Amino acid sequence: MAQGAEDRVDVLIGGGGVAGLALAVALRQGLGPSFSVTVADPALDRMPADPRASAIVAAARRLLATLGVWDAIAAQAQPILDMVVTDSRLTDAVRPVFLTFGGEVEPDEPFAHMVENGPLQAALIAKARELGVELVAAGVADFDHPSPARAQPAATTTADLQVALTGRSPIAARLLVAADGARSRIRERAGIATRGWAYGQSAIVTTVAHERDHGGRAQEHFLPAGPFAILPLKGRRSSIVWTEHDREAARLLALPEREFHAELERRFGLHLGEIADVGPRGAYPIGLWVARAFVAERIALIGDAAHVIHPIAGQGLNLGLKDVAALAETIVDAARLGLDPGSAAVLERYQRWRRFDTMAMGGATDALNRLFSNRSDILRLVRDVGLGLVDRLPPLKQLFIREAAGLVGDVPRLLKGEAL
């Protein structure tokens, strides 16, 4: 890229998914209108039809509340009041319950809420506009002189990045944030490799309506091909995340309506009465990938651009929102001291904060998937004894709940509900 840019911004965020938009809002809220933030995403001029819903844990909900977007989605958010885990074969008549979670981290604060991705993204876009974030419907195509996979020594001052956008004039940025998802072009162009593997599994996602109330209960049935999760949505509806081996997932997805419904019903059961498929179906390949570095010269990675994990514990987006909270706090603290938000010292602080936690969560979801997605009777006995033990030890269970809610460890301020 040779051409010089006329526009200059403090932070350019490539990717307007939940992670990119939340970061834009956090930065403008913390630093005000004199700190310029632009979000570039080719999908910004059309509303995405994402069939997914996400379990937003307590810490992530506190972040959204502090950013002023929770109120806009609260009426559509379904608290998860309890959760049951079963471990059985598809043909078993009864699915014994091995683990139950009563879900509050503090009085009146459920450990998670189910929120549909579409309305959450719409609320973030509205808040970003209100705060004066510039939203550009264009993709990041290229940029100049990144140093592969590592930041410069702290004392080095480097020039702005010149960033080329598709169909627009280039922009100069002090910091470019890669929030462009699992197949991040920015990460690739920065020369940052990923480590990990595909599981050979895909998650089928759809929404069902049912006759009876779910009572806020989430259910995760560990079937031999992988977890089948029934996650409560507002009203008599549930979001389904149904894991199968890739080939079987493709076959199921292509089935005519009636046959797909019959397969769904076999797994769902009739405990909530008759069910009807109401949402579009989608399938997502599942893998574990973590970027070898979260920063390069004037570049930071957040969200799925930095890591993709198995949806078994519903933690992918929550992990991305932890990146948002840590990067926003690092930049806001630095900018208030008059420091360059894209300097190596700032980026190194962010990387140190997030890499270990990400590796730990990636490892935990990988272990869970290996333990559960198999047909071995011995492993089944081991995990059922383990789950039964956890179920009978309240302090351990409470620790798991607080960990799953994102409230353990060196928690950034936004995740504690404190403004920057």
Ligand X SMILES: Cc1cc2nc3c(=O)[nH]c(=O)nc-3n(C[C@H](O)[C@H](O)[C@H](O)COP(=O)(O)OP(=O)(O)OC[C@H]3O[C@@H](n4cnc5c(N)ncnc54)[C@H](O)[C@@H]3O)c2cc1C
The answer to whether 207 contacts ligand X (rule: CB under 6 A) is: no
Question: 189: Cβ–Cβ under 8 A, 6 or more apart, which residues?
Answer: 142, 143, 146
Query: What is the rounded CA–CA span in Å between residue 59 and residue 366?
Result: 22
Q: Does 55 bind ligand X (CB under 6 A)?
A: yes
Q: Which contiguous run of DSSP H or E holds residue 344?
A: helix 344-372
Strand partners, 164: 142
- Given the rule CB under 6 A, which of 13-21, 143-151, 257-265, 291-299 is the region that contacts ligand X? 13-21
For residues 408 and 277, give the distance between their C-alpha atoms in angstroms, rounded to a whole number.
38
310 in Cβ contact with 365 (< 8 Å): yes
Tokens read off for 86: 């079963």
279 binds ligand X (CB under 6 A): no
Q: From the CB of 349, what's the least distance to ligand X, in Å? A: 21
Site pattern 109..148 for ligand X (x: CB under 6 A): ------------------------------xx--------
What track of x and - describes contact with ligand X for positions 183 through 202 (by CB under 6 A)? --x-----------------
- Is residue 43 close enough to count as binding ligand X by CB under 6 A? yes
Shortest reach from residue 281's CB to ligand X, in Å: 11
What's the min distance (Å) between Cβ of 321 and ligand X?
8
| Binding of ligand X by 311 (CB under 6 A) | yes
Q: Which stretch in 27-35, 70-78, 174-182, 370-378 sits in contact with ligand X by CB under 6 A?
A: 174-182
Min dist. Cβ of residue 378 to ligand X (A): 29
For residues 208 and 52, is the Cβ–Cβ distance under 8 A? no
Position among 10, 116, 180, 357 found at the interface with ligand X (CB under 6 A):
180
Task: Answer yes or no whether residue 342 interacts with ligand X by CB under 6 A.
Answer: no
Q: Note whether 181 binds ligand X by CB under 6 A.
A: yes
Select from 401, 302, 400, 385 the least CA-distant residue to 351. Answer: 302
The verdict on 15 binding ligand X (CB under 6 A) reads yes
Q: In angstroms, rounded to a whole number, what is the distance separating the alpha carbons of residues 127 and 21?
A: 9
What does the alpha-carbon distance between residue 58 and residue 415 come to, in Å, rounded to a whole number? 8
Instruction: State phi, psi for 224 to the nearest 5 degrees.
Output: -55, -35
d(CA 54, CA 210): 19
Residues 145-164 that bind ligand X (CB under 6 A): none
Residue (202 or 343) nearer to ligand X, CB: 202
Q: Is 312 in the site for ligand X (CB under 6 A)?
A: no
Q: Would you state the structure tokens that stand for residue 288, as one six-digit string?
A: 């574990």
The single residue among 41, 160, 340, 357 that binds ligand X, judged by CB under 6 A, is: 41
CA distance 319 to 363: 13
Residues in the chain: 420
Q: Which parts of this chain interact with ligand X (CB under 6 A)?
A: 14-20, 40-43, 52, 54-55, 139-140, 179-181, 185, 203, 205, 241, 284, 303-304, 311, 314-318, 320
